[in-house]
């Protein structure tokens, strides 16, 4: 069996690639996904993330290695395992990042990745009704909507933020990011609008595109210095497929380096220690992991007004019915309603903290978890450009054994400083006069947690991932780069890596929007290379 292009992973990047490459009817495309269908009510309902969060039907359910910066804890680390990947289980927030993020990539030697270069790909991917066409796209595959219901506590939170000097920003994905605003969401008519919904589902009927689910890639098939195909397991059988042009690895910041390593591509000595015969010594594979690490502040609400009450029977029955009929109500909410982008200290040129606010309080589980029985409000915060880096490393030659994931949260001094300042900002935002009619006592971390040492200790013992892993197959021109600026694997032909793992630095944002952009640009790089190859063949 042979196709022109074999795509490994039907997450955000894989769905974009499948759509754009198969638009040419002369190109044959195979898309392999280890997980299953996304056709489940928990996936369709925006609030269903509370159900898919720890469900192995939809989630790889990884855990990190115990971390020295997080009080020796192992932290639950979800990754999507279904069509749409993590875009089918994420929190829906659409945040691009700052222009400086991408200009930094270009300044690191990645020509073609400045903000001016990538803005057209952001615009191409989205459908943002009413947006400024200088910054926003119309008619693209991914629908980006505003929240359907503006809660009075959210309005008070925004007013309070303005009283602290944060401007209300009409579009944080436009000319500037700084300020406070309602989050933009990948939700359409009250249903999740994942990469599978926007990019893959409309083109599933193309005769030149084949989508295989339950297809777990085991290793890359190499001949000499070229990757020529993929070996995968499906329904208990080992299968192989060849790529006439290229293999496009889009398994994410955990899956992509892991598959490279179990295929013998990575740091040679480390692979030998794991029992893997090195095929190609590439020291940067799996190194450079970065992730956003969040803390939260929670206050009780003194009068019934929050989402907590709406999530209890009998009211919940009405909310479910409202969503099924009209796509509105509790089930149509994303986990965060309002966001703020701010500077932890005034001398910074750009915001370095991201805030998420919701008129609800949750049990254990990071920024969000199961809704608590008592009314509350939550303000989460994370440092947008963490300096701490970690790794993803194969633990066994068996590709079905989960890799070791070590983000090394809070190991850099700047990350610790930003965590403390972020918690202080969250407290200020939850203590404004505008919120006074609702304010009850602080329950997390609690008013006894006051000085810097106590706040940092709280961050270490109670913080968690925001599921934004990047950087483990870094794009660049230095010796530790894994792919070049055209996303081609260094030292072997026939393979590109196309997903969040190629980000050379963390974006100042949730990572899904930038991942979609990377895949949009990658599709043009692939098609340009194909045209050049055909021209050479004719010549």
User: What whole-number distance in Å separates Cα of residue 290 and Cα of residue 454?
Assistant: 25
| Best CA proximity match to 130, nearest among 177, 180, 184 | 184
Please give the span between the terminal C-alpha atoms of the chain, in angstroms, as a whole number: 29
User: What whole-number distance in Å separates Cα of residue 323 and Cα of residue 49?
Assistant: 15
User: What whole-number distance in Å separates Cα of residue 17 and Cα of residue 14?
Assistant: 5
Q: Where are the alpha helices (DSSP H) in 375-429?
A: 413-429
User: What whole-number distance in Å separates Cα of residue 456 and Cα of residue 210?
Assistant: 50
With vertex at residue 472, the alpha carbon angle to CA 463 and CA 265, rounded to the nearest 5 degrees, is: 140
| Best CA proximity match to 181, nearest among 351, 337, 345 | 337
User: What whole-number distance in Å separates Cα of residue 58 and Cα of residue 75?
Assistant: 18
348: CB partners within 8 A, 6+ apart: none
What the block records as the tokens of 318 is 């009405």
User: What whole-number distance in Å separates Cα of residue 143 and Cα of residue 48?
Assistant: 19
What is the DSSP code (8-state) at residue 306? Answer: S
The CB density around residue 84, as the number of other CB atoms within 10 Å, is 30
**CB contact at 8 A, 30 and 8:** no
User: What whole-number distance in Å separates Cα of residue 221 and Cα of residue 227?
Assistant: 6
User: What whole-number distance in Å separates Cα of residue 58 and Cα of residue 256?
Assistant: 18
User: What whole-number distance in Å separates Cα of residue 50 and Cα of residue 365?
Assistant: 10
Q: Which of 143, 193, 391, 468 is catalytic?
A: 468
| Best CA proximity match to 252, nearest among 54, 14, 425, 75 | 14
User: What whole-number distance in Å separates Cα of residue 68 and Cα of residue 501?
Assistant: 23
What is the DSSP code (8-state) at residue 402? Answer: P
Percent of the chain as helix, strand, coil, to the nearest 5: 30, 25, 45
Residue 381 has φ and ψ, to the nearest 5°, of -150, 145
Strand partners, 362: 371
**CB contact at 8 A, 406 and 225:** no
| Best CA proximity match to 98, nearest among 169, 160, 155, 174 | 174
Identify whether 143 is a catalytic site residue: no
Measured CA to CA in angstroms, residue 521 lies from 122, 306, 506, 511 at distances of: 9, 42, 18, 16
What the block records as the tokens of 532 is 């050049």
494 φψ region: left (φ > 0), alpha (ψ -120 to 50), beta (else): left
Task: Give 515's Cβ-side CA count (13 Å radius).
Answer: 29
Annotated catalytic residues are: 468
């Amino acid at each position: 069996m042979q196709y022109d292009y074999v795509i490994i992973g039907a997450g955000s990047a894989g769905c974009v690639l499948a759509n754009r490459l198969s638009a040419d009817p002369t190109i044959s495309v195979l898309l392999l996904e280890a997980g299953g269908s996304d056709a489940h009510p928990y996936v369709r309902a925006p609030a269903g993330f509370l159900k898919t969060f720890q469900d192995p039907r939809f989630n790889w359910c990884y855990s990190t290695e115990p971390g020295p910066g997080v009080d020796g804890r192992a932290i639950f680390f979800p990754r999507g395992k279904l069509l749409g990947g993590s875009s089918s289980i994420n929190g829906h927030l659409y945040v691009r990042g700052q222009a400086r993020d991408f200009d930094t990539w270009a300044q690191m030697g990645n020509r073609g990745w400045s903000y001016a270069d990538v803005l057209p790909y952001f615009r191409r991917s989205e459908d943002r009704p009413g947006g400024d066409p200088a910054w926003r796209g119309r008619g693209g595959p991914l629908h980006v909507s505003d929240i359907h219901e503006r809660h009075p506590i959210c309005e008070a939170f925004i007013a309070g933020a303005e009283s602290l000097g944060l401007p209300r920003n009409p579009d944080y994905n436009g000319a500037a990011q700084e300020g406070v605003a309602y989050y933009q969401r990948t939700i359409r008519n009250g249903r999740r609008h994942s990469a599978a919904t926007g990019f893959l589902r409309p083109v599933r009927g193309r005769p030149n595109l084949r989508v295989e689910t339950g297809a777990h890639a085991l290793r890359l098939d190499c001949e000499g210095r070229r990757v020529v195909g993929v070996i995968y397991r499906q329904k208990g059988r080992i299968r192989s497929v060849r790529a006439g042009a290229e293999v496009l690895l889009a398994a994410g910041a955990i899956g992509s380096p892991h598959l490279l390593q179990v295929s013998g591509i990575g740091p040679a000595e480390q692979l030998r220690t794991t029992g893997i015969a090195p095929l190609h010594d590439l020291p940067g594979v799996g190194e450079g992991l970065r992730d956003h690490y969040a803390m939260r502040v929670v206050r009780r609400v003194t009068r019934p007004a929050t989402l907590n009450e709406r999530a209890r029977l009998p009211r919940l029955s009405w909310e479910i019915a409202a969503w099924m009929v009209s796509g509105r109500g509790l089930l149509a909410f994303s986990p965060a309603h309002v966001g703020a982008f701010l500077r932890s200290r005034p001398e910074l040129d750009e915001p370095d903290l991201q805030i998420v606010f919701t008129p609800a309080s949750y049990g254990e589980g990071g920024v969000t978890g199961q809704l608590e029985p008592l009314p509350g409000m939550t303000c989460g915060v994370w440092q947008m450009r963490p300096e701490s880096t970690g790794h993803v490393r194969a633990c066994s030659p068996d590709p079905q054994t989960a890799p070791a994931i070590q983000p090394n949260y809070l190991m850099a001094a700047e990350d610790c400083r930003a965590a403390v300042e972020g918690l202080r900002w969250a407290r200020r935002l939850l203590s404004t006069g505008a919120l006074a009619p609702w304010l009850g006592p602080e329950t997390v971390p609690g008013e006894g947690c006051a000085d810097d040492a106590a706040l940092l200790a709280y961050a270490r013992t109670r913080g968690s991932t925001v599921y934004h892993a990047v950087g483990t197959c870094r794009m660049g021109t230095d010796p530790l780069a894994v792919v070049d600026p055209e996303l081609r694997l260094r030292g072997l032909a026939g393979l590109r890596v196309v997903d969040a793992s190629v980000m050379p630095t963390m974006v100042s944002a949730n990572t899904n929007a930038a991942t979609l952009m990377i895949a949009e640009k990658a599709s043009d790089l692939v098609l340009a290379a194909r045209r050049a190859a055909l021209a050479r063949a004719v010549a």
